Amino acid sequence: MTAPAATAVLAVRELDAWIGLQQILHRVSFEVPATGVTALLGRNGVGKTTTLRALLALVRRSGSVTLAGSRIDAEPTHRIVRRGIGYVPENREVFAGLTVAENLQLARRGPGGPDRDQLLTELFPDLLGRLAQPAGTLSGGQQQMVALARVLLNDNRALLVDEPTKGLAPRVVDQVADALAVAAERLPLLLVEQDLAVVGRLATRVVVLAEGRVVHTGPAADFLGDQAEVRRLLGVSGSNAGGANAGGGSDGGHR
Amino acid sequence: MSTVVLLAVTGLGLGGLYFLVASGLSLIYGVMRILNFAHGAFLTVGGYLGYEAGHRFGAQANSWPVFALMLVVGTVAGGLLAVLVELLLIRRLYEREIEQVLVTVGLGLAAVALVSGSWGSDARTFPAPRWMARTTSIFGADVPNLRFACIVAAVLVLLGLQLLLGRTRYGLIIRAGVENRSMVAALGIDVRRTFTAVFGLGGALAGLGGVLTALYNSTVSPGMGDSLLIFAFIVVVIGGLGSVTGSAVAAAGVALLQQFANYYASAGIGDLTVVAALAVVLLLRPSGFVGRQVRLA
């Protein structure tokens, strides 16, 4: 089932990661193809967020990570990001005391160009009128828009997106999913998402973790179609998961 | 009336010195999460090297150009020393915050000993333009000019810091780093460079503060940094860690309280009052007046 290396933008081999003294990931290996959305799934606390943070060197880790053919696992966070990985963290992590404009300005790594500004205008019209507003006063959905805009205004090779719909109203979930769909047309995504309806709409492939290990990889449609497997690995049934966050959602913590 | 004015101007001058030390401490803590106990050493070294630069001119040391040189030497010395400390010691201990604090404590002690060894432990008279020691009459109070000079210097530094923080990309990175430094790195920004720059900036302000403290006291002495550092820490906590404006307000408040209590109650009560004020602030507003809750995640 594994895609050939030539078409993978990110290749992860034998990745271990620790938070403090506790080992969270155990020899995690998977690939993110150069197109489409790869969903990283699993119950709460299996290490999904830690996987993304380990790719970015935000937690202590060992193993090999290759981005478009070059090893990035020995580099510090800022260099990895500069090589073209955009990170949309869990809980958005916008800078609450900075204005929307300042949040975007801080994230911009080079000259953006008018086509990029136009893309942002089309995707996030809500933000235009709020550029001078402190990001901390925005709604959760608007903050998610800022977090997404931050990575879309740069030239990236891949995006790591962590629970973008967590805690959002259903209408806003659709808006965020629309923006992710547009982003996915331009570049590959590694997406952590509890909402299986969103996964079903966006994901082309899935990687499933359990207790810090990869337990399943394959096409998204095959996995989501297998009720028994979804229930076994995620603890929810695929058919009634639409809309609601599977597994409680809000207590995902920093794993 | 004249006593009140004299106490107010004197208090604000002292507040200016507190601010020069506290603003650097506050920025360093805000961005790097380090309580820099070596900050008093930067001040003392800045003061002594400023003294040394002026002292060489002998009788000419009381002229304005020499005083300007002393200010520059003190500032640059504090800044360079801080950058060296950051690159050689602190940088090797990133993420090991206890060790960082211990290193700064050790540096503070070593620096005082080195200064005592080189210049002796007695205070030395600090040269300054004669205008500084003259007084200006304001609302009937004869206020030594050097107290105005300290106030003006602190206000200029406050304005400069606000321009830096509010109008430049470096300032933007610093403000963002105070909120969430790992997210700043995750946007592709090298936070280590910011750490070095902020540490150097704090050291430069402490060095400038060293020359001005020596001016205020009319002497340099090895303990000058540490005696100011204690109150600067109190100012930083009251003002809110990471907030420059908070430090400015708290510096003025602490120094005024101290001056008035020392005069109207009895000498020494002012220092106690300041500690009591710290306790009250910690009970009522643990994150200070302007600062935000320190993130633990």
Domain containing residue A166: CATH number = 3.40.50.300
- Predicted confidence at residue B110, as pLDDT, reads 95
Within 131-170 of A, beta carbons closer than 8 Å to B belong to: 150, 154
Residue B189 has pLDDT above 60, yes or no: yes
Read off the pLDDT band of B182 (50, 70, 90). very high
| Structural domain boundaries enclosing B67 | 2-225
Q: Is residue A218 part of a domain?
A: yes
pTM: 0.86
- Predicted confidence at residue A2, as pLDDT, reads 47
Residue A145 has pLDDT above 90, yes or no: yes
- Predicted confidence at residue B291, as pLDDT, reads 55
Q: Is residue A30 part of a domain?
A: yes
| Structural domain boundaries enclosing A26 | 5-95+157-180+187-248
> Do the Cβ atoms of B185 and A58 come within 8 Å?
yes
Which of A65-69, A150-154, B32-36 shows the lowest per-residue confidence on average (mean pLDDT)? B32-36
Q: Is residue B169 part of a domain?
A: yes
Total number of domains constituting chain B: 1
Q: Is residue B63 part of a domain?
A: yes
Residues of A in contact with B189 (CB under 8 A): 78, 106
Residues of B in contact with A81 (CB under 8 A): 185-188
Q: Select the more confidently predicted residue: B66 or B61.
A: B66
CB of A88 less than 8 A from some CB of B:
no
Total number of domains constituting chain A: 1
Q: Is residue A134 part of a domain?
A: no
Residue B91 C-alpha, separation from nearest chain A C-alpha, in angstroms: 14
Q: Is residue A242 part of a domain?
A: yes
Select the residue of A82, A93, A105 nearest B188 (Cβ to Cβ).
A82
Q: Is residue A120 part of a domain?
A: no
- Predicted confidence at residue B176, as pLDDT, reads 94
Residues of A in contact with B182 (CB under 8 A): 58, 77
CA-wise closest residue to A223 among A39, A21, A33, A87: A39
Q: Work out the average pLDDT over B270-282.
A: 88
pLDDT tens per residue, range A80-131? 999 999 999 999 999 999 999 999 999 998 776 677 778 888 889 889 899 9
Q: Work out the average pLDDT over B135-147.
A: 90
Per-residue tokens: B86? 């950051």
Q: Work out the average pLDDT over A43-48.
A: 94
SS3 assignment for B89-127: HHHHHCCCHHHHHHHHHHHHHHHHHHHHHHHCCCCEECC
Q: Is residue A21 part of a domain?
A: yes
Crossing angle for the helix pair B244-264 and B2-32, to the nearest 10 degrees: 140
Residue B234 C-alpha, separation from nearest chain A C-alpha, in angstroms: 24
Q: Is residue A163 part of a domain?
A: yes
Residue-averaged pLDDT of chain B: 91
Q: Is residue A64 part of a domain?
A: yes
> Do the Cβ atoms of A97 and B175 come within 8 Å?
yes
Read off the pLDDT band of A48 (50, 70, 90). very high
| Phi-psi label, residue A243: left if phi above 0, alpha if psi -120 to 50, beta otherwise | left
Q: Is residue B217 part of a domain?
A: yes
pLDDT tens per residue, range B212-256? 999 999 999 999 999 899 999 999 999 888 889 999 999 999 999
